[in-house]
Amino acid sequence: MSKRLPGMLMRGLLVVGLLIGVLMIGTRLLSSATVSSLPLGAVTPTRATLQDKAIAAGRVVPRNEVKVKPQVNGILEDVVVRPGQWVKKGDRLAKLRLLASPVDINVAQSELNRAKMELDRAEMEVGRRQRLHDQRFVSDSELQDQQLRRQLAKEKFEAAKRDLELRLKGASKQVAQSINEVRATVDGMVLERLVDVGDFVIKSNDLNEGTTIVSLADMNQLLFKGEVEEVVAGRLQQGMPLVITIGALPGQEFEAELEYIAPKAKKTDQGRNTFEIHAALQVKQGVFIRAGYSAIAEVIFSRHENVLTVPESHLLFHGTQPFVKVQTAPEHTEERAIITGLSDGIRIEVVEGLKETDWVMIP
């Protein structure tokens, strides 16, 4: 009897295994039959998260980009910075070989001569007032006023002398910097260099905007600039949060705050109205964003999570009332009025009128 026990146990285990297998196959067949019994085109309501949002295409740019130009005309001798380099205000960027025009030199010489004549006249007047003061014909205040005029005339003369010296030599003994040195006007990164050594550059004037040698920008202060359609612009308000995705940085999202909506539309080539928007971008620590990156901004107006939804294509309407066609028995359907909520353009929220087990047919 003890010898037959292991054999019987093995046969018992085999029978149990066969029964479990049959049960699993039956379950699959039943499930398959249930799925296959779902009529063609029918769907069951499913739970999902819906968002009412708008999308704007644009790019990321520095908030302020500064174009650095020379103070004088000349030939570019040297550039000591490169794109991508951070500089401080006052740092030397480039050096010129001065090419002062004869007109500029003549103007500076004339200013110097005029300042010298005014200084000589002021000196003579101080001497005359001093003699009258000694004789009690001029008060102390009158003498002091004339002495002040002489001091102002002297300062004007010194300034004119420095200006002429700078135009002739490019540097002056009285000033620490040379006008033929181009220096940073703000803290920031060098974005681009627009001229090469040997190029002729000119200062800005009333007739010419001058030659830009380099452009600088604080790359920690960035903006998203994009455009939205007319129907979206009417729903926007300053201070709204935006989510920015950048094509060159996949998998990352950046927060931004809407701070500008253009008051005037732009007309596209297709005749549509669009409005420019600006949003302040929050730069993440350790992430470098290059100026000009293409980006997409999402403005989320509302968000409903884990709500019952059906495809909008399965809705039909009688007037403004939405209905769905629900199968209640084989070969039998009925139209059922529902209450809808948020839509993302593909699926729509069903607030009332359906259950998750209902079969919704294509109308």
Residue type, 10: M
> 3-class DSSP state for residue 28?
helix
User: Is the separation of the CB atoms in 333 and 42 below 8 Å?
Assistant: no
Same domain, 108 and 165: yes
Residues 6 or more apart whose Cβ sits within 8 Å of residue 81? 87, 91, 93, 94, 190, 193, 214
Domain assignment of residue 353, yes or no: yes
Domain assignment of residue 203, yes or no: yes
pLDDT at 28: 54
Domain assignment of residue 82, yes or no: yes
User: Is the separation of the CB atoms in 301 and 53 below 8 Å?
Assistant: yes
Same domain, 228 and 281: yes
> 3-class DSSP state for residue 358?
coil
Domains of the chain: total: 4
Domain assignment of residue 7, yes or no: no
Domain assignment of residue 23, yes or no: no
Same domain, 207 and 86: yes
Same domain, 224 and 294: yes
User: Is the separation of the CB atoms in 342 and 29 below 8 Å?
Assistant: no
Helix axes 102-134, 140-169, angle to 10 degrees: 160
Burial of 13 (0-12, 13-18, 19+ CB in 10 A): exposed
Q: How far apart are CA 35 and CA 28, in angstroms?
A: 10
The DSSP secondary-structure symbol of 71 reads S
Last residue of a domain, which of 138, 169, 200?
169
Low-confidence ranges of the chain (pLDDT < 50): 1-3, 5, 29-36, 171, 175-176
CA angle 67, 106, 72 (to 5 degrees): 15
Domain assignment of residue 322, yes or no: yes
Domain that holds residue 342: 46-50+304-361
Domain assignment of residue 270, yes or no: yes
pLDDT digit string, tens, across residues 253-307: 999 999 999 999 999 888 899 999 999 999 999 999 999 999 999 998 888 999 9
pLDDT at 36: 44
Domain assignment of residue 283, yes or no: yes
What does pTM read for this prediction?
A: 0.61
User: Is the separation of the CB atoms in 27 and 275 below 8 Å?
Assistant: no
Same domain, 157 and 259: no
Phi, psi of 239 (to 5 degrees): 95, -10
